[in-house]
Amino acid sequence: MVKVADYAGGPTAWCPGCGNFGILIALKRALVELDIEPYRVLMVSGIGQAGKLPHYTKGNVLNVLHGRTLPAATAARIVNPELVVIAVGGDGDGYGEGGNHFLHALRRNHDITYLVHNNQVYGLTKGQASPTSDPGFVTKTTPQGASPPVYPLALAIAADGSFVARGFAGDTEHLAGLIKSGIQHKGFALIDILQPCVTFNHQNTYAWYRERVYKLDESTYDPTNKLAAFEKAQEWGAKIPIGVIYRKPRATFEEQFPALRKGPLVRQNLDPTEVARLLEDFI
Amino acid sequence: MELQATGSPQSDAKNYRKVKTLVNINLMIGGEAGQGVQSVGHVLAKTLARGGYHVFADQDYDSRVRGGHSFFRVRASDAEARAISEQVDILVALDKESIDLHQKELTKQGIIIFDGDKTKNTGENTSLFSVPLERLAQESAKNKLMTNTVALGAALGLASYDKRILSNVISEYFGAGDVGKANVAAATAGYEYARTNFKRDFRHNLTPIIGDGRRMLLSGNEAIALGALAAGCKFMAAYPMTPTTTIMEYLASKAKDFNIVVVQPEDEIAAVNMVIGASFAGVRSITATSGGGFCLMVEGLGLAGMTETPIVVVLGQRAGPAIGLPTRTEQGDLEFAIHAAHGEFPRAVLAPASVEDAFWLTIKAFNLAEKYQIPVILITDQYLASSYATVEKFDLSKVTIDRGLLLSKEELTKLGEYKRHQITESGISPRAIPLEGGTLVVTDSDEHNEEGHLIEDAETRTAMMRKRLRKMEGLRKEIAKPRVYGAAQAEITLLGWGSTYGAIREAVDLAMNDGLAINLVHLSEIWPFPVEATTRALQGAKKIIAVENNATAQLAHLLRAETGYQVTGKILKFDGRPLSPEHILKQLKQEVR
């Protein structure tokens, strides 16, 4: 059995009290509860404080460029479907720099889990507005106040994401459950995580979130109803829902490729002489 | 040059060569996009190749789906045909514009086949031979659209070619069904019309060279795609962009048979990062693009450099900057390819000299990428990408797959502790595949330590930079010497790189026939720059003239930087059209006047 200690990583460089700690705890817990050994996990992370997460636990790690987690992560999954692929990045990384990849990865439904540490601010560059900052959020680069935000969950539903969820870094138990469901989900699992930034975001604090977040109850809320989910995804203000907002089982990207039905690409023999039959086509 | 062919179906190839008669004929099919110029051009090239000729063909087209002007040139020779020729012996004009644009390229005895029923007012021109193309298409195939096939038949009738070979190739190309039969009928109608109605003396009697029709006819892009398959490539991600799209299309068409995944993602940024992800996960991976897409891939190139992930990037150049001339050729991205991305890291840049070279250098690209754990750029251009050439069937027993220090599970177990970026004397760290090796593989785009975890300290940074750059030492030894061709005691040395090899080499032949003592030094493996070998090749050179398909002589600049040699003259072409032997010779004569 896998233990939490198996996922112990190096010393962290996050601020004390950072919401990232809650996410790290929840991720380890989910992996342990699913009994997944670290060597089977590939974490692909972007740039920002969130991108450092894989170094603070154990697993295979491919830390890439700002915004480019999804292309690298999805391709690794295509090559070896036995890898548990988890992409990790922040709101600037995923919804700003990597926005295009985000839409298309959802649309194609690659079988990976994507954790977005959404703190509504840029931490690594010290406090500028992010694509999810609340409207009017004043920073050094946006003295006029931030423009209206993107609603990542609404975007994801519009792109027909097959698993669209929101968690809260301040509720690790609930978040661990979501991450587990995301990993078990066959297809692209987006988990947008409300993550307080204790240094640069004095507006969306732990206290602010705690007052507002509420858990969706699946006995009364139907996450397969797309229109209802679309509305729920835009609920932001006095009440903020967490849980699975939308779920739609559908074929994954990998299922379309006949080559992948013959086992992982990574295990196939390479034989140049097989090309002989093609050479005849050119004569 | 006297153009004459003898040889008969009875003579075998060996005897034929003893006769040493020179056949060198150039045919051009011109018309609008949508008139089937490329399809009959390809059939023509294949028909001639099947008859034992060496063939070189290129295509020129506007960036549009219908209309405009496009042409397909086919050169057939009984000696190796390495380049296009600007002279045309038979011009098949499917529209009037083709006559207006190309009659100046016609040789003295050249003939223009056109449809006199459709194209009037062509003026007095003894080279014109009117064939009722549309009428014959209608009569023979009940389909006016087969005008192009009638014209093809007429051209080969004019040259007295073996019509059975033509029919066979058409049947293979269009299938044995009604479409194929109609096309054979159309071609036959054109062929017979020309045999019966052409009363003048046409010098080219293209008798097939029996026994020699077993060469492959393929394009630069097809050679790259085959090279990738032979090298064991399992993953491609690319965004369609002229002139490399057909690489992706070919591999996608073989995906099922060869267990390869081809993905068309949202953009070139995704493409290169997918290739990095796939390679990190353990398979040989490739992407292909042109200059504009390569611009978007540049940050990914640096990521491959930093994380030491092997990738192969095909950069098919076209005329830039920006959108430039999207369907036309240029060698404008050499220095860009060598220097692309911020920071300093090792890479290799290979520039195939020919269609055949494209196959072998693609395989070499994969081997170098894995052996040195670096990005390798295979730099071609629109000319090479879409030119067809006959080559001897690739000897697949000569293909080697060298995955370098890629460790198996057993080797990793023996090793014990694993560090992805272990500092070694060669700079190459043992590589493991996530999951497959049972060990953890960690890498980072930030500077990192041997374990792959990010660091900030000066000592580790310096050690890691040195480690990565040390790989250049081994890599340098892998780079082939420049090709040297021509006079032993040359007064003039032409310097070239990449796809222009054939044209410059033939220019050397032409110049030597004219009495010039001239040679060629040509590079197809350019980075790391083969400093010693190039210096040796240029030793004693009296006059070095750079011949490049660009405006600023980028190889000459590189040569100066790497060896100190300065060229004394430049023959540059940057109008989006390829260099021809004749053009080079003409410019050369001005240079040495």
Query: What tokens were used for A187?
Result: 């297809």
Which residues pair with residue B236 across a beta bridge?
B262, B286
Nearest Cα of chain A lies from the Cα of B391 at a distance, in angstroms, of: 10
How many other β-carbons are positioned within 10 Å of the β-carbon of residue A220?
6
DSSP conformation letters of A227-282 = HHHHHHHT--SS-EEEEEEEE-----SGGG-GGGGGS-GGG----GGGGHHHHGGG
pTM: 0.96
Bridge partners (DSSP) of residue B91 are B28, B112
Query: B26-80 pLDDT, tens per residue?
Result: 999 999 988 999 999 999 999 999 999 999 999 998 888 888 899 999 999 999 9
Using alpha carbons, list the distances in angstroms from residue B475 to A243, B138, B301. 53, 61, 17
Distance CA B313, CA B272 (A): 8
Contact: A10, B453; criterion CB under 8 Å:
yes
What angle is formed at CA B528 by the lines to CA B523 and CA B533, rounded to 5 degrees? Answer: 50
Domain boundaries, chain A: 4-282
Closest CA–CA distance from residue A178 to any residue of chain B (Å): 25
Cα separation, B369 vs B361, in Å, equals 12
B445 CB within 8 Å of a chain A CB: yes
| N-terminal to C-terminal alpha carbon distance within chain B | 23
Q: Does B443 touch chain A (CB under 8 A)?
A: yes
User: Which residue's structure tokens are 């690489």?
Assistant: B247
Nearest CB among B230, B435, B452 relative to A275 is that of B230
Measured distance CA(B35)–CA(B64) in Å, rounded: 13
Q: B363-374, pLDDT tens digit by residue?
A: 999 999 999 999
Residue pLDDT, tens place only, B124-178: 778 999 999 999 999 999 999 999 999 999 999 999 999 999 999 999 999 999 9
Domain-wise residue ranges, chain B: 13-214, 217-398, 409-478, 483-591
The confidence score (pLDDT) of residue A218 equals 85
Check CB contact under 8 Å for A273 and B216: no
The string of pLDDT tens digits covering residues B376-418 is 999 999 999 999 999 999 999 999 999 999 999 999 999 889 9
B483-591 and B217-398 share a CATH fold: yes
pLDDT at B20: 41
**Domain covering B483-591: architecture:** 3-Layer(aba) Sandwich (3.40)
Residue A213, Cα to own-chain centre: how many angstroms?
Answer: 19
Q: What is the ipTM of this complex?
A: 0.98
Confidence of residue A4 (pLDDT cuts 50, 70, 90): very high
Contact criterion met (CB < 8 Å) for A68 and B303:
yes
Residue B436 in this model has a pLDDT that exceeds 50: yes
Mutation target among B268, B373, B442, B455 for the A interface, most CBs of A within 10 A: B442
Residue B406, classed as helix, strand or coil, is strand
Assess A261–B contact: CB distance below 8 Å, yes or no: no
The CATH architecture assigned to B13-214 reads: 3-Layer(aba) Sandwich (3.40)
Chain A residues whose CB is inside 8 A of the B216 CB are 279, 282-283
Query: Per-residue pLDDT for B204 more than 90?
Result: no
The Cα–Cα gap between B211 and B199 comes to: 31
Q: What integer pLDDT is reported at residue B8 of this predicted model?
A: 33
Q: What is the pLDDT of residues A62-86, one digit of tens each?
A: 999 999 999 999 999 999 999 999 9
Give yes or no for a contact between A161 and A106, defined as CB atoms under 8 angstroms apart.
yes
Planar angle of CA A45, A47, A48, nearest 5 degrees: 115
Check residue B591 and give its pLDDT: 85
What is the reported pLDDT for B205? 79
pLDDT at B208: 84
197-216 of B, contacting A, C-beta below 8 A? 213-216
Question: Is A259 in contact with B260 (Cβ distance < 8 A)?
Answer: yes
Quote the radius of gyration of chain B (alpha carbons, Å). Answer: 26
pLDDT digits (tens, 9 = 90+) for A226-277: 999 999 999 999 999 999 999 999 999 999 998 898 899 999 988 999 999 9
Position B207 scores a pLDDT of: 84
Distance CA B425, CA A208 (A): 55
- Are B277 and A73 inside 8 Å of each other by CB? yes
In this predicted model, what pLDDT tens digit does every residue of B274-305 receive, in sequence order? 999 999 999 999 999 999 999 999 999 999 99
pLDDT at res. B9: 33
Mutate to test the interface with A, among B266, B285, B362 (most CBs of A within 10 A): B266
**B476 burial via Cβ count (<10 Å: 0-12, 13-18, 19+):** middle
What is the dihedral angle through the alpha carbons of B293, B294, B299, B304, rounded to the nearest 10 degrees?
120
Give bridge partners of residue B235 from the DSSP assignment: B261, B285
- Nearest residue, CB atoms, A65 vs list B237, B265, B299: B299
Q: Would the pLDDT of B474 be above 70?
A: yes
Q: How far out from the chain centre does Cα B537 lie?
A: 25
Tokens of B202: 């046409």
* A4-282, CATH topology level: Rossmann fold (3.40.50)
pLDDT digits 0-9 by tens, A94-111? 999 999 999 999 999 999
Q: Quick one: tokens of B360? A: 């072998």
Give CA–CA dist B262/B270, Å, rounded. 13
Average pLDDT, chain A: 96
How confident is residue B122, by pLDDT bands cut at 50, 70 and 90? low
**CATH 3.40.50.970 holds for B217-398:** yes
Proportion of chain B above pLDDT 70, given as a percent = 95
What's at B432, amino acid-wise? A
A283 touches chain B (CB under 8 A): yes
* Cross-strand bridge partners of residue B522: B483, B496
